[in-house]
Amino acid sequence: MPKAGKTVDSRARLFRRGAVDGFGVVNPSFNSPGIDFLAQSKGPLVAHGRDRPKPHYPLVDLGNRRVGDIVASKLVALGHRNIATAKKHRGASPSTHSP
């Protein structure tokens, strides 16, 4: 069984047995089947980060574009002019993309 399947199975067991009241997921992987299961289970769920551009679950995330603007403004205010940005490639971690 693939790793994602084992993860979903273990979450299902924990939830069915009443061992947990809800789930918090940090930095979910892209299109995570675990997030889909948790969202369908009707139990409390919140994620830090997102696994897709338009998530269907509650989440806490940074406004990365705004954070980048603030960082660039601070660097310019300090006199820097040759500023580069680095970003993970699309699909690497949806939490790095602004909605």
Which amino acid would we find at residue 34?
A: G
* Residues 87, 95: Cα–Cα separation, whole Å: 11
* Residues 28, 93: Cα–Cα separation, whole Å: 8
| Residue 22 confidence class, pLDDT cut points 50, 70, 90 | confident
* Residues 51, 55: Cα–Cα separation, whole Å: 7
* Residues 95, 62: Cα–Cα separation, whole Å: 8
| Residue 97 confidence class, pLDDT cut points 50, 70, 90 | very low
